[in-house]
Structure 1
Amino acid sequence: MKNRFLLLAGLLLFMCFSAQAQVRKVSSLRSPNGTTLIELGIRDQQDLVYRISFNHKPAVLWSLLGLRLHNYKTDKVVNAQPGKTTSVRSSFRWPLGETSYVDNSYNALTLQCKTTGTPYQLSVRVYNGSIAIRYRVDLKSGSTRLEEELTEYNLASASTVYQYHEESLFRPLKLDSLTGICDQPATLVQKSGLYLSIGEADNRNYTKCVFVHGKDKNSLKLQFYTDTVGRDKQVTIDTAVTFDKSLLSPWRTISMSTNAVGLHNFSQLNLKLVEPSNTNLENIRPGKVFRVPISTEGALEGVDFAAKMNFQYIMLDAGWYGAEFRTTSDPTQPIPTVNIPKITNYARSKDIGVILYVNYVGLKAKLDTILPLFKKWGVSGMKFGFIDGGTQQGLAWLDQAVKKVNDYGFVLNVHDHYKPTGTSRRYPYHLSQEGIRGDENSPDAFHNMVLPFTRFLAGPADFTFCFPNAKSDFAKNLKVSKGQQLALTVVYFDPLQAIFWYGKAGDYQDEKEIEFFKYVPTVWDDSKYLDGKIGEYISVARRKGETWYMGNAAGLIAWRSSIPLSFLTPRKEYIATIYEDDEKKGILKREVTVTSQSQLDINLKAKGGQALIIRPKIRETR
């Protein structure tokens, strides 16, 4: 009976995954460790298709590839010739990330696709657990309009998708019930237990595609940048995506893991898929940011508070040069109550940098003028506001603008709906961006526990932490405990992390409650995602030098567990300083001695959290 069952299961697997009678295979490529396989073929003598297996099990069934161009016939492939397989085994230094070195090992090939019209190239890379593909078309003459990208994702089993759009809440639902759109990266959990993150890398001048339900029951396909109008209506914004002389698409990425926290093995994948510039990374200063009142006096007080808290920057947000959306507001002319040179001079004396916000209106009108002016004023960084991070026109403008800011050596934070695709490796002064429903938008603990497994897989995000104080608990905005706020500064990765978003310098008097913020770094030498379940809980440990920081947080239900501290150096003692919620909505601080053999007992209430600093124990000498 058992043998009959195994035979039947094998037959069904073969039938659902193969469809060999319809597809002529032309190439295949495995990852360096052999666990990840992509196969490429031609279906019905005209469709270029691919399928993916992970750990020898189907993940994506035969799915369509290709582009449909106006006046260039590229959608029907009659032959495909694979080039020589290239094996890359390397790493690169990245002092601005979750790890100081990034492994970049993969196998690659290029498929030369002959069509009924214009040929094109399909580049393929296979990492351990990830697939990346992109298109290149060299146009014979003139320009063309991209009518549709045909890439689809036919998943091997029923799946749950965590649907969201830009800065919205998340909605987990069955993929076969998906209506409307879902942003990239999209996280899906297959019935088989496989976790997938589907996204894009190196989008400089294409369009921001979104996902919609495909033609099959468990499938997704791409649609040009689409926005939501009203409650339910979706409107495609980018209807004319054009290219001149050549077309280079973003990388389309698929990453797979057998558990949720394993998806974070790929949170720096986008960086690997972008060619670096020759920018000196050692000159770039990440750090924590304090937003100050819009006045010279408020900024000077903010500088003192930032220095006291071991922050690296203050920021003057919208309003320092007038109403941000008015064309008459000039970012070369501060309002009378703001003296930028006085602020920057004082900040420099305290080793604090100054970041200035400029709205898209002012950026488009004055970017080339304000860059040298800001340098003259002694400004250290910029924040872009309300940019167009969706259309081809907006992304192309942003790419050139970020390059200019990078060349001037200003750290940069791009706000509103733009999400990263790894281009910070090309322009490394671009440290952060929003593209997230952050603290100022009142997310709950469920939302907070979904973010690490979704949006943060694309790259850093500015969550704009709203930590309460004695004068204001920000009840409208804060739906989780203080302990969770502390923990999330470790869990969420952001090299330019804004803390005390709505707070004022004089309002924070309880040193014990905010002490953790003095020490927590924003970039790391190593990161370990220890445990987690989407929407429910997470535990993350990160190392800077010899010191480890740990964040544990719970969703809408309590979390009890035990976490091994095996990431610590063996035969070495550490002092763990634990900051956690007390019974009076405050922070309790305690210390324990731990080793790599220790277990940390987790006992968090719903919406709670704890943050740890684990320092090597200093032995007294006689």
Structure 2
Amino acid sequence: MSKMFFGLKSLGVLSFTCLLQCGLLSAQKIYSISSPGNTTVLAVSAPGGKPGYQLSFKGKRITGWSALDIAVDGVSLSNAEITRYDKPVLHHDSFASPLGEQDSLHSIYQQARLRLKTTAGLSVTIDFRVMDSSVAFRYTVAAGGAVPHELREFTTFAFPSSPLIYQYNQESVFTPTRVDTFSTTTDLPVTIKSNGNYCQVGEAVNLDYTKAELVRGANGNTLVIKFPRDTAVRFYNNIETPWRTLSVAGSAIALAHCRTLSLKLADAPTPGDWSWVKGGKLIRAQLNTQSGLDCIDFAVKHHFQYIMFDAGWYGAEFRSSSDPGQVIPAIDLPRVIAYGKEHHIGVVLYVNYIGLKAKLDTILPLYKQWGVAGLKFGFVDGLTQSGLTWLSQAIKKVQQYGFILNIHDNYKPTGLSRTYPALLTQEGIRGDENSPDAFHNTTLPFTRYFAGAADFTYCFPNPKNTFSKNIKVSKAQQLALSVVYYSPLQAIFWYGQPNDYTNDSEIEFYDYVPTTWNESHYLAGDIGKGIAVARRKGDTWYLGCAAGLQDWQAVLELSFLRTGVPYTVTVYEDDGNQSIRKRTIQLSSRDKLPLKLSAKGGQAFIFRPGNHE
């Protein structure tokens, strides 16, 4: 790499742009791609044949020169020749999002393409999309031949100084860590604080690749792609890698703009009627007939849409001898399904990966015959190429049979819910099953949830069980998180039994809160400190606010409300005596709402138009 190329690191963005315009760097093959609003500039170069990029945002350098590099059969992009550069073209994409955080999504971006050929004759294309505040790029390889090829990836994200990352893996806690002391791996997406800005490095559209994580690079400023399980990705003829994404904002709450990025990068679903895919709230039944019937009655009373029989309904889930086509004697499943249909409540069945791999093609038509509404996959392999390839094919099959789907354990979203609308949610998160604290709860909205929906497996106390092992926050925070966290399918009362919930006044908020939304606004917050999110369903707004391990205060603008319309607001809050207090206030779009939350506390609000006093 030339000295001139390295010297560009010290140039300001204005000087760099001037040099580009003046043509002084043309010999270095440096290309500049600006976002539609000119807030975000991606510079791409390949001096010496090794591509790299540098990102600037609002005139400030976000990354230093970072590598765009893969190796196929041991041949990297070093000394590759640029054969063509397709200049940026402006694109406008819009599509409906009926199961999302808002009715529709809009994407405006500049797309460019760099075509390269290696010394071994390998053709590689790198596509770039530059949006206001985000960039995305991916590699496409045309290798040909009848033998399998091996791909390794060496993409880097180099920052001006050692950034702070919120490290985690799958369902672990978050550990704020400086990269210069970083000695493990972190999952994607990862949220980063660097030089006064907030960034997120993410991934979109992983269909048949392997899981990628990030490790420390050659210096304390750089993160590098690493495959944690596979040594390489294997393919025949051609391969298109997942998108690598980098988003930036001036504050943690502003970084919420990237939460739909992976959906915007994913392919549209096949044309058709997807109205049969419905979200909703779910309660888990015990492994007997009466519990299933009781859960359906509970679901009707509390406006839930589904019940679920979890692990064990067909026997020990990890034994290959257990048949997911055979129901244990304690459950009269036809009776439960029929009772559910009579009351418009769907039945979801859990199947472990062992049973899925052995009998997926057998149980799908069988469950259709039974009248099952959906499936939950358990203990899948979301870590390897073989596992992710199998999952992509399984998602497609489940959808073809008309089932909704929830994938649990280590699987994370990469935008495939757009391509496959039946994939409502997935886990890949530390939920109430694993006893998260208030720091974790108020870190999730700025990290893992920016990748997409997650099944948090909520718990809530009842008079017979406090679930103190699982719940480390107040009751009002538990209510509020059902608004703060997005998932079209929400598992509520995870460990609770329906007849134990005689505390109707405490759980009333769950009766009303939806799981899909017409409009959403991230109003205030900071990582691990607090969060406030407002979402609309029809004419009604819901607001969830949660505090971290310390008291949290904020003043919320209510300009999202309809102008000139008074709202009657029901407030659900902690009463100081380990219960929920409900009160009513009047507010309008001109008002400001002050928040004063105690540590680990929360508030949940319902804004109904009109004066109902």
User: TM-score with structure 1 length normalisation?
Assistant: 0.93
Q: 2:99 aligns with which of 96, 99, 119?
A: 96
State the 1:481 CA deviation: 0.3
Superimposed CA distance per residue, residues 125-175 of structure 1 (whole angstroms, 9 cap, x where no aligned partner): 111111000000111212444352021011133311001111111000112
SS for the counterpart of 1:104 is strand
Task: Name the CA distance, whole Å, in 2 between partners of 1:294 and 1:316.
Answer: 7
SS at match of 1:372: helix
| Cα distance in 1, alignment partners of residues 254 and 148 from structure 2 | 41
Given candidates 1, 25, 30, the residue that maps to 2:29 is 25
**1:192-229 per-position Cα deviation (integer Å, ceiling 9, x unaligned):** 211001010000111001000011321100000x2xxx
- CA spacing shift, 1:248–1:11, aligned 2, 3 Å: closer
- Partner in structure 2 of residue 439 of structure 1: 432
Equivalent position of 1:275 in the other structure: 267
Match of 1:5 in 2: none
Asked if 1:257 corresponds to 2:249, the answer is: yes
Contact 2:253–2:523, Cα closer than 8 Å, also in 1? yes
Contact 1:95/1:281, CA 8 A, preserved across alignment: no
Could you tell me how far apart the structure 2 residues matched to 1:52 and 1:66 are? 16
1:328 corresponds to 2:321: yes
Q: For the Cα contact (< 8 Å) 2:439–2:529, is it kept in 1?
A: yes
Instruction: Say yes or no: does 1:58 pair with 2:61.
Output: yes
Amino acid across the alignment from 1:496: L
Amino acid at match of 1:48: P
Q: Name the SS of the counterpart of 1:460 in structure 2.
A: coil
For 2:493 and 2:9, locate their aligned partners in 1 and report how far apart those are by CA, in whole Å: 59
For the 8 Å contact 1:553–1:607, the answer to whether it is kept is yes
Does the aligned pair in 1 maintain the 2:346–2:373 contact within 8 Å?
yes
Inter-CA distance 105–441: structure 2 relative to 1 (3 Å threshold):
same
Note if 1:205 corresponds to 2:197.
Answer: no
Shift of 1:71: 5.6
8 Å CA contact retained: 2:550, 2:600 = yes
Change beyond 3 A, Cα 1:303–1:241: same
Of stretches 603-612 and 135-144 in structure 1, the one that deviates more from structure 2 is 135-144
* 3-state SS of paired residue (1:208): coil
Q: 1:281 to 1:261 in 2, by over 3 A?
A: farther
C-alpha deviation, 1:86, in angstroms: 2.1
Deviation at 1:598, TM superposition (A): 1.1
Aligned pair 1:105/2:98, yes or no? no
Structure 2 counterpart of 1:61, one-letter code: G
2:135 is matched with 131
- Give, in angstroms, the shift of residue 25 of structure 1: 3.4
Matching residue's letter, 1:257? A
Cα separation, partners in 2 of 1:59 and 1:240, compared to 1, 3 Å? closer
SS of 2:28 mapped into structure 1: strand
Residues 1:400 and 2:365 are matched in the alignment: no
> How many angstroms does 1:477 deviate by?
0.7
Which consecutive unaligned segments of at least 5 residues does structure 2 have? 1-7
CA contact (8 A) 2:152 2:232 kept: no
Distance 1:12 1:399, change over 3 A: closer
Q: Which residue of 2 aligns with 1:346?
A: 339
Q: 2:179 touches 2:221 (CA, 8 Å); kept in 1?
A: yes
> CA RMSD for the aligned pairs?
1.9
Kindly indicate whether the alpha-carbon contact (under 8 Å) linking 1:68 and 1:75 is maintained by their aligned counterparts in 2: no
Checking the alignment, whether the CA contact within 8 Å between 2:144 and 2:236 is kept in structure 1 is no
Q: For the residues of structure 2 that align with 1:525 and 1:619, how far apart are their CA atoms?
A: 23
Quote the residue 2:306 is aligned against: 313
SS state at 1:61 partner: coil
Say if 1:23 and 1:41, in contact at 8 Å, map to a contact too. Answer: no
| 1:221 pairs with 2:214 | no
Aligned equivalents of 1:219, 1:138: Cα separation in 2: 29
What SS does the aligned partner of 2:393 have? Answer: helix
2:607 corresponds to: 614
**Aligned residue pair count:** 598
Q: Who is 1:184 aligned against?
A: 188
Q: CA deviation at 1:377?
A: 0.6
Cα distance change on mapping 1:428 and 1:266 into 2, 3 Å: same
For the Cα contact (< 8 Å) 1:241–1:392, is it kept in 2?
Answer: yes
1:598 match: 591
Residue 270 of structure 1 aligns to a residue in which SS? helix
For residue 41 of structure 2, the aligned residue among 20, 37, 47 is 37
The percent identity for this pair of structures is: 47
Q: In the alignment, is the contact (CA less than 8 A) between 2:586 and 2:611 conserved in 1?
A: no
Check 1:352–1:17 CA distance in 2 against 1; reply closer, same or farther (3 A cut): farther
* Native 8 Å contact 2:123 2:143 kept in 1: no
Q: Letter of the aligned partner of 1:194 in structure 2?
A: N
Counterpart CA distance in 1 for 2:9 and 2:320 is 67
Deviation at 1:76, TM superposition (A): 3.3
2-structure distance, mates of 1:181, 1:250: 19
